[in-house]
């Protein structure tokens, strides 16, 4: 019974996430249509300019507003999808030989911890290597304020 | 003779040009709409902003749950699906003791936290039977579950105020929520990145204190102290340093209050000074990994350990110094940044300087590395 409930819950979850995706695609489609219409209005404005300046002006304003708004909407969608990610930072492990001081840096592996003894050093086989540091490097520079 | 006023003088509409007239009327329409519906429009914008953040929070919360379940399945090898148990645990709560008569509240809170910790550990052992005998893995899974619980709680609180604001159409409820959202989101993102760190057993920013203690005690024999702490006796600058940290490399903060109490009592209060090293919250504009020095008990949490340490220090009149490594909340719970790791040597220099300046040769000095020992051995 519990399993059935769980399955139902999972299905609901999947359905809701697909629904969100559908709405998002639907909205994107509308925005793209509006954008196409805006471009068409601008083209019409160019052709109407020679005969009717007022109509050309109105069409140009409508076209520009629609183009800007749809562009903004698309940008917002993109920002939203970019934001919906959990960033997993790259964590590095520094391994040192306590005798010769030889240093190796590799990506973190499950089970690593600071001061864990590892396999012997290649240069000095009688000495075990040791993890001396585990850290992540933050690439992007923080914005500084000159105050 | 009376002449009716020209409407163009009353409401200038830009002359006879059709385009100018349209623009002018549009301007008036917008002006009138904003007079009557300005606040409502502002509210809808805010609601939209909160809604976006809420979607993101939901995503983070669901990912947190997923990561926790995956970690339990991978490490604990349970025979049944741990999801229902995890879901049940995500809703767990702790009722703080009644504070109308505050006398004795610390002991009550201490007991309550012990019960909570014990219960959580037992739950993890049931969820992950293969890790039941491995203290390190149990502690790491416990920390992962706690991070998922925190995310679940944040999401629920934000959702509560969002729905309340929408139901009552109260600008002020929504406004308050929208104002604190950047800070809430920062915290949620920090917990999200902490999830993987806890699941994999990576050192976190809060482990700056234990990392310093580990570097000082490495190579010396250690012994266990009350409530998951360990101690090593190390000769340092002509003094005897009694170095304490939470036992690693599993995710564990121990109870430094009990450990310090025990060591002071063992030495009958004959301690030159107590130096505490911890991660301290930085203010905006300060650099991550900056080292600062001060006095007092550098320890966070609910305050039980701080109280115990202060009681003992006051009883024996022992001076208390603190060295902190500055970082923000995001750095404290996510994998340790290089700047924090690099600050360890600077902290050791400061500690040595404090010992030399503030104690006599031959004195005993307690040095406590406060924080989570995840990923930090000894």
Region of residue B239 (phi > 0: left; psi between -120 and 50: alpha; otherwise: beta): beta
Q: List C-alpha distances in Å: B208 to A7, A49, B60, B90, B153.
A: 43, 70, 26, 28, 27
User: For residue A18, what pLDDT is reported?
Assistant: 42
| Best residue of B338, B340, B342 to probe chain A, by most A CBs closer than 10 Å | B338
Chain B residue with CA closest to A55: the answer is B19
Looking at the structure, tell me whether residues A11 and A60 fall in a common domain: yes
**C-alpha span between B353 and B365 (Å, rounded):** 13
A16 touches chain B (CB under 8 A): no
The tokens describing B357, both together, are 């300046």
Which of B81, B336, B378 is closest, CB to CB, to A134? Answer: B336
Q: Could you give the CA distance from residue B64 to residue B70 in angstroms, rounded to a whole number?
A: 10
Say if A110 falls within a structural domain: yes
Count helices and strands in chain B by DSSP H and E runs:
11, 7
**CB-closest option in B19, B337, B376 to A113:** B376
Q: CB A6 to CB B201 under 8 A?
A: no
Write down the residue that tokens 């999808």 correspond to.
A81
Of A6, A112, A135, which has the smallest distance from its Cβ to B341's Cβ? A135
A140 lies within 8 A of chain B by CB: no
Q: What confidence tens digit (pLDDT) does each residue in B44-96 have?
A: 888 888 888 899 899 999 989 999 999 999 888 888 888 999 999 899 889 99
Residue B347: name the closest of B259, B276, B296, B247 by CA. Answer: B276
What pLDDT is attached to residue B196? 84
Q: In this structure, are residues B324 and B298 in contact, taking their beta carbons and an 8 Å threshold?
A: yes
Say if the Cβ atoms of B203 and A135 lie within 8 Å. yes
CA–CA min distance B360, chain A (Å): 31
User: Using an 8 Å Cβ cutoff, are B152 and B91 in contact?
Assistant: yes
- Contact at 8 Å (CB) between B290 and B325? yes
Cβ-nearest to B193 among A80, A87, A137? A87
**Residue at A147 is within a domain:** no
- pLDDT tens per residue, range B128-141: 888 888 888 888 88
Q: Do both A76 and A102 map to the same domain?
A: no
Kindly state whether residues A51 and A112 are assigned to the same domain. Answer: no
A77 and A98 belong to one structural domain: no
Reduced to 3 states, what is the DSSP secondary structure of residue B365?
Answer: strand
Residue whose C-alpha is closest to residue B145's, from B164, B166, B126? B126
- Are the beta carbons of A110 and B201 separated by less than 8 Å? yes
Please indicate, yes or no, whether residues A74 and A6 belong to a single structural domain of this protein: yes
Indicate whether A141 belongs to any domain.
Answer: no
Contact criterion met (CB < 8 Å) for A91 and B335: yes
Chain A nearest C-alpha distance from B318 (Å): 32
The reply to whether A67 and A100 lie within a common domain is no
More confident residue, A81 or B239: B239
Which residues of chain A does B197 touch, with a Cβ-Cβ cutoff of 8 Å? Answer: 91
Residues A62 and A17 placed together within one structural domain of the fold: yes
pLDDT tens-digit map of A11-59: 444 444 444 444 467 778 888 888 888 888 888 888 888 888 888 888 8
Give every CB contact of residue B135 below 8 A, 6+ residues apart in sequence.
B250
B52 interaction partners in chain A (CB closer than 8 Å)? 80
Test the B interface: residue of A75, A135, A137, A141 with most B CBs within 10 Å: A135
Minimum CA–CA partner of B193 in chain A:
A88
Judge: B338–A58 Cβ closer than 8 Å, yes or no: no
Q: How many other C-beta atoms are found inside a 10 Å radius of the C-beta of residue B96?
A: 10
- C-alpha closest to that of B271 among B230, B225, B312, B221: B312
CA distance B326 to B342: 12
Instruction: With respect to residue A145, please indicate whether it lies within any of the assigned structural domains.
Output: no
3-state secondary structure of A105: strand
Q: Are A108 and B202 an interchain contact pair (Cβ–Cβ within 8 Å)?
A: yes
CA distance B367 to B272: 11
Which one has a higher pLDDT value, B97 or A52?
B97
- pLDDT reported for residue B168: 87
3-state secondary structure of B201: coil
* Residue A81 pLDDT: 63
Residues A19 and A65 in one domain: yes
Kindly give, in sequence order, each residue whose CB lies less than 8 Å from that of residue B294, ignoring residues fewer than 6 positions away.
Answer: B321, B322, B324
The pairing of strands A103-107 and A91-97 is antiparallel
Instruction: Check if the beta carbon of residue B223 is closer than 8 Å to that of residue B348.
Output: no
B144, B140, B153: which is closest to B90 by C-alpha?
A: B153
Same domain, A79 and A95: no
Residue ranges making up the domain that contains A127: 91-136
A70 and A9 in one domain?
yes
A125 inside 8 A of chain B by CB = no
Q: How far is B324 from chain A (nearest CA, A)?
A: 18
B329: three-class secondary structure by DSSP: helix
One domain for residues A11 and A75:
yes
Both A74 and A7 in one domain: the answer is yes
Please check whether residue A80 touches B, CB under 8 A.
Answer: yes
Which tens digit of pLDDT belongs to each residue from B72-84?
Answer: 998 888 888 889 9
Q: Which pLDDT band holds residue A2 (cuts at 50, 70, 90)?
A: very low
Closest chain A residue to the Cα of B219, Cα to Cα = A115
Count the domains in chain A: 2
- ipTM for the whole complex: 0.83
Last residue of a domain, one of A83, A112, A127: A83
Q: Which residues pair with B325 in a beta bridge?
A: B279, B291
Contacts of A89 in chain B (CB under 8 A): 193, 334-335
Phi, psi torsion values for B96, nearest 5 degrees:
-70, 150
**Least CA distance to B249: which residue of chain A?**
A113
Q: DSSP code of B362?
A: T
């Amino acid at each position: 019974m519990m399993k059935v409930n769980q399955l139902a819950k999972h299905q609901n979850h999947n359905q809701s996430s697909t629904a969100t995706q559908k709405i998002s695609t639907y909205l994107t489609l509308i925005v793209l249509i509006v954008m196409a219409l805006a471009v068409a209005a601008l083209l019409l404005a160019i052709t109407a300019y020679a005969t009717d300046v007022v109509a050309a002006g109105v069409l140009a304003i409508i076209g520009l507003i629609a183009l800007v708004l749809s562009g903004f909407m698309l940008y917002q969608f993109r920002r939203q999808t970019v934001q919906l990610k959990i960033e997993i930072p790259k964590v590095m492990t520094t391994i040192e030989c306590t005798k010769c001081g030889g240093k190796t840096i590799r990506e973190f592996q499950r089970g690593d911890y600071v001061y864990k003894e590892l396999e012997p050093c290649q240069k000095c086989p009688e000495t075990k290597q040791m993890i001396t540091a585990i850290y992540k490097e933050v690439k992007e520079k923080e914005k500084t304020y000159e105050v | 003779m009376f002449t009716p006023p020209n409407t163009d003088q009353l409401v200038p509409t830009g002359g006879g040009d059709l385009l100018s007239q349209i623009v002018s009327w549009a301007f008036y329409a917008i002006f009138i709409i904003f007079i009557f519906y300005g606040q409502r429009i502002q509210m809808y914008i805010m609601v939209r902003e909160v809604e976006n953040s809420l979607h993101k929070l939901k995503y983070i919360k669901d990912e947190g749950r997923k990561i926790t379940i995956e970690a339990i399945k991978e490490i604990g090898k349970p025979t049944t699906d741990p999801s229902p148990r995890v879901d049940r645990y995500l809703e767990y709560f702790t009722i703080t003791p009644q504070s109308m008569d505050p006398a004795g509240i610390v002991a009550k809170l201490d007991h309550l936290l012990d019960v909570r910790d014990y219960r959580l550990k037992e739950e993890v052992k049931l969820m992950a039977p293969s890790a039941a005998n491995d203290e390190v893995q149990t502690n790491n899974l416990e920390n992962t579950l706690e991070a998922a619980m925190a995310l679940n709680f944040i999401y629920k609180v934000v959702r509560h105020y969002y729905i309340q604001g929408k139901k009552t159409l109260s600008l002020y409820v929504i406004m308050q929520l929208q104002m604190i959202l950047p800070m809430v989101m920062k915290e949620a993102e920090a917990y999200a990145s902490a999830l993987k760190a806890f699941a994999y057993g990576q050192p976190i920013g809060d482990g700056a204190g234990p990392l310093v203690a580990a570097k000082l005690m490495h190579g010396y024999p250690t012994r266990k102290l009350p409530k998951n702490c360990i101690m090593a006796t190390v000769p340092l600058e002509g003094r005897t340093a009694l170095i304490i940290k939470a036992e690693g490399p599993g995710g564990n903060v121990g109870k430094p209050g009990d450990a310090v109490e025990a060591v002071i009592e063992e030495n009958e209060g004959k301690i030159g000074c107590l130096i505490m090293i911890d991660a301290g919250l930085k203010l905006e504009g300060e650099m991550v990994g900056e080292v600062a020095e001060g006095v007092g008990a550098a320890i966070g949490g609910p305050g039980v350990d701080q109280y115990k340490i202060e009681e003992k220090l006051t009883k024996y009149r022992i001076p208390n110094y603190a060295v902190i490594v500055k970082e923000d909340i995001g750095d404290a719970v996510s994998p340790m940044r290089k700047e924090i790791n690099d600050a360890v040597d600077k902290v050791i220099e400061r500690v040595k300087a404090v010992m030399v300046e503030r104690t006599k040769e031959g004195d005993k000095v307690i040095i406590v590395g406060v924080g989570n020992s995840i990923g930090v051995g000894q």
